[in-house]
Structure 1
Amino acid sequence: MMGEFTRVERKGRVATVHFDRGDKLNALSAAAMRELTEVARSFEDDLETSVVVLTGAAGHFSAGADLGDPEMVTRQSKGLLARRHAMKVGPDMCDAWERLEQVTICAVEGFCIGGGSALAASCDIRVAAKSAYFRLPEIPLGMNMSWHSNPRIVNLIGPARAKLFIILGEKLFAPKALEWGLVEEVTEDGQALHAALALAEKFGDLPPLPVRMSKQSIDMAAKALNPAVTFMDRDQFALTATSRDQQEAVNAFLEKRKPKFTGE
Structure 2
Amino acid sequence: MSREYDDIDVAVGDDGRAVLSLDRPDSLNALSDRMADEILDALNRVEEDDDVRVLVVRGRDGNFCAGADVGSPPAETKPHQQTRRFRRLRRLFDRLEGFPRPTVAAIEGYCLGGGCELACCCDTRVAAESATIGVPEITLGVIPAGGGTQRLSRLIGLSRARDMILRGKHHDAATMREYGFVHELTDDEGFEDALEAVVEEYLVRPPVAMELAKLTVNGGFEASLASGLEMEALATGVVFGTDDAREGLEAFRENRAPDFRGE
Q: Relative contact order (alpha carbons < 8 A, sep ≥ 6): 1 or 2 greater? A: 1
Residue 129 of structure 2 is matched in structure 1 by 130
1:151: which partner in 2? 150
Name the CA distance, whole Å, in 2 between partners of 1:86 and 1:96.
16
SS in 2 for 1:73: coil
On the 8 A contact 1:59/1:190 being kept in 2, the answer is no
The reply to whether residue 84 of structure 1 matches residue 83 of structure 2 is yes
1:199-246 deviations in Å (ceiling 9; x for gaps): 111111111100111111122233559xxxxxxxxxxxxxxxxxxxxx
What is the rounded CA distance, in whole Å, between the counterparts of 1:88 and 1:190 in structure 2? 39
User: Which of 26, 31, 43 is residue 40 of structure 1 equivalent to?
Assistant: 43
Q: Where does structure 1 lack aligned partners over 5 or more consecutive residues? A: 226-264
Cα 1:151–1:82 change in 2 (3 A) is: closer
Q: CA deviation at 1:143?
A: 1.7
Look up the match of 1:229: none
On the 8 A contact 2:18/2:46 being kept in 1, the answer is no
In the alignment, which residue of structure 2 is the partner of 1:189?
188
Tell me which moved more, 11-20 or 213-222: 213-222
Q: Which residue is 1:121 aligned to?
A: 120
Instruction: Give the letter for the 2:24 counterpart.
Output: R
Deviations 1:32-56 (A, max 9, x none): 1111111122233332111100000
| Structure-to-structure mapping, 1:1-264, within 5 angstroms | 1=1, 2-11=4-13, 12-69=15-72, 72-76=73-77, 79-189=78-188, 191-224=190-223
Deviation by residue 1:112-150 (Cα, 9 ceiling, x = unmatched): 111110111011111110010111111233222222232
Residue 204 and residue 25 in structure 1: after superposition, are their counterparts in 2 closer, same or farther (change >3 A)?
Answer: same
Structure exhibiting the larger radius of gyration computed from Cα positions: 2
Q: Specify the code of the residue in structure 2 equivalent to 1:74.
A: A
- Please give the alpha-carbon distance, in whole angstroms, between the structure 2 residues aligned to 1:59 and 1:132: 9
Question: What are structure 2's unaligned runs of at least 5 residues?
Answer: 225-263
- Equivalent position amino acid for 1:6 in 2: I
Change (3 A) 1:121 1:7: same
Match of 2:241 in 1: none
State the Cα distance separating 1:24 from its structure 2 match.
5.0
Q: Report the TM-score when normalising by structure 2.
A: 0.78
TM-score, normalization by structure 1: 0.77
Counterpart residue identity of residue 74, structure 2: V
Kindly, what percent of the aligned residue pairs are identical?
A: 32
**RMSD over aligned Cα, in angstroms?**
1.9
Aligned in 2, Cα 1:224/1:94: closer, same or farther, shift over 3 Å?
A: farther
